[in-house]
Amino acid sequence: MSRRPRTPRRLLAIAAAAGMIVVAATAITTWVRAAGDEMPSSYAPVHITKSFEEIARVMSAAKDEVMARHMRLLEERYDLSDRPAPGPTMSRGKPLQQGPRTKLPPGMTWQKLAAMTPDEIRAKDLWPAGFYPLPHPNHMEGGMLFPSHHIEEIKRQEGRDLTRFDLDYDLPRHLLPEYPPPIYLTTRPDLGDVSQGKVVTLDNYFDLFNGILNPKQLEGLRLLVTPFPQQQFNATHDRRSLKPSRGVTCFDCHVNGHTNAATHLVGDIRPQKFRHRIDTPTLRGVNVQRLFGSQRALKTVEDFT
Ligand code: HEC
């Protein structure tokens, strides 16, 4: 292949063309950014314009204020106090909590509210705010967020850190499911709780289940406790962990096949502000379900995975 010699004029032409491309690209990014501010978009921006250190510094500095604002909202809407109900408990003894937990507007009682028509409640703005959707602690930011006792346990067992520099989990532990939760096998009901009171991780799953599950089930379980990168926990600058992260496991939310009430935003709604905060459901009983998840199009847990 012959190459044309690069005469000064040709070099100039190349430089001019490159310059035009740069100018055009700048114009497009500016235009896209300006448009993004005004128009709803299905996409989150992927071009990071600040260093990771700068992002972490600014977001860590804002964390206390973000959390204080969110905790004020919870406090206004709900009674979050520790009020264990007498009688039945969760499987391993954690007390159930009793209600009601939604606060009423000042001067209102449940009886008065029940006597009003829906139109009257709307007109006087007396709808208890606790019945509006619960926002994520930083709703426009969103993303996976884990209770601190789970973060501590995973750090202790695996040395993997699920702490976010920009946010903490919000709900008090007495309102959360028992931790660790028990595990009952549909294949071996005779064994009762097979968790041995442990949180199942990549470090202990084999010792706990070798001889109880078949090899294919052991492989499935291994995948459920293997971390995979996702948006807040990965190796790139678009993460919310201080150190690069190996990622998150299915059992970081569905701990022991149940739930630790970890939260994030639902995947199937746009734009961001319309997405709901979601509460991790238990995976107990999925063996008798025909469809999974809010998309209702996943027919097996394997599809879901
Ligand atoms: C950040 C926490 C989180 C992680 C990590 C997570 N899930 Fe979930 N999971 C949820 C939430 C929240 C829902 C409910 C959302 C919905 O219905 O769309 C859910 C729903 C499900 C359901 C449907 C349950 C039902 O009753 O319909 C299955 C099955 C499931 N997850 C399996 C998995 C598997 C497998 C993985 C790992 C690949 C995983 N999850 C990782 C939080 C999580």
- Evaluate if residue 19 carries a pLDDT over 70: no
- State whether the beta carbon of 298 lies less than 6 angstroms from ligand 1: no
Average pLDDT on 84-103 reads 96
Q: Quote the ligand 1 centre to 265 CA distance (angstroms).
A: 12
User: 35-39, 65-69, 90-94, 115-119: which range is least confident on average?
Assistant: 35-39
Please determine, for residue 73, whether its predicted confidence score (pLDDT) is greater than 60.
Answer: yes
Question: 261 CB under 6 A from ligand 1?
Answer: no
Provide, rounded to the nearest whole percent, the portion of the chain with pLDDT above 70.
87
Tell me what the mean pLDDT of segment 64-89 comes to. 97
Tokens standing for 201?
A: 């991780």
Residues near 161 by beta carbon (within 8 Å), at least 6 away in sequence: 151, 154, 155, 241, 242, 243, 245
Ligand 1 lined by 144 (C-beta under 6 Å): yes
φ, ψ at 78 (rounded to 5°): -130, 155
Could you report the per-residue pLDDT of 23-71, keeping only the tens digit for each?
A: 333 333 333 344 445 688 888 888 999 999 999 999 999 999 999 999 9
CA of 284 to the centre of ligand 1 (A): 12
* Per-residue confidence band for 22, with pLDDT thresholds at 50, 70 and 90: very low
Residue 301 confidence (pLDDT)? 77
The pLDDT confidence band at residue 263, using thresholds 50, 70 and 90, is very high
232 CA from centroid of ligand 1 (Å): 16
Query: Where do the structural domains in the chain lie, given as residue ranges?
Result: 135-304
287, two tokens: 């063996």
The predicted-structure confidence for 195-235, as pLDDT tens digits, reads as follows 999 999 999 999 999 999 999 999 999 999 999 999 999 99
Query: What is the mean pLDDT of the segment spanning 125-145?
Result: 96
Average pLDDT, the chain: 88
- The strand pair at 95-97 and 263-265 is best described as unpaired
Residues 6 or more apart in contact with residue 57 via CB below 8 angstroms: none
- Å from CA of 281 to ligand 1 middle: 7
Average pLDDT over residues 118-131: 96
- Reading phi first (left if > 0) and then psi (alpha if -120 to 50, else beta), residue 34 is in alpha
Asked if residue 292 lies in contact with residue 298, where contact means CB atoms within 8 angstroms, the answer is yes
pLDDT of residue 21 exceeding 80: no
Residue 18 has pLDDT above 80, yes or no: no
Q: Is 289 in the pocket of ligand 1 (CB under 6 A)?
A: yes
- Tell me the pLDDT tens digit for each residue of 142-196: 999 999 999 999 999 999 999 999 999 999 999 999 999 999 999 999 999 999 9
Ligand 1 center–CA 295 separation, angstroms = 11
Q: Is the CB of 262 under 6 A from ligand 1?
A: yes
pLDDT for residue 11 is more than 90: no
| Residue 121: pLDDT band with limits 50, 70, 90 | very high
Helix H or strand E encompassing 85:
strand 84-89
Least confident of 100-104, 174-178, 257-261, 269-273: 269-273
Closest atom of ligand 1 relative to the 230 alpha carbon: 5
CA of 60 to the centre of ligand 1 (A): 28
- Which of 223, 253, 279, 301 has most ligand 1 atoms within 8 Å of its beta carbon, as the pocket-test mutant? 253
pLDDT value for 193: 97
Give residue 287's pLDDT.
84
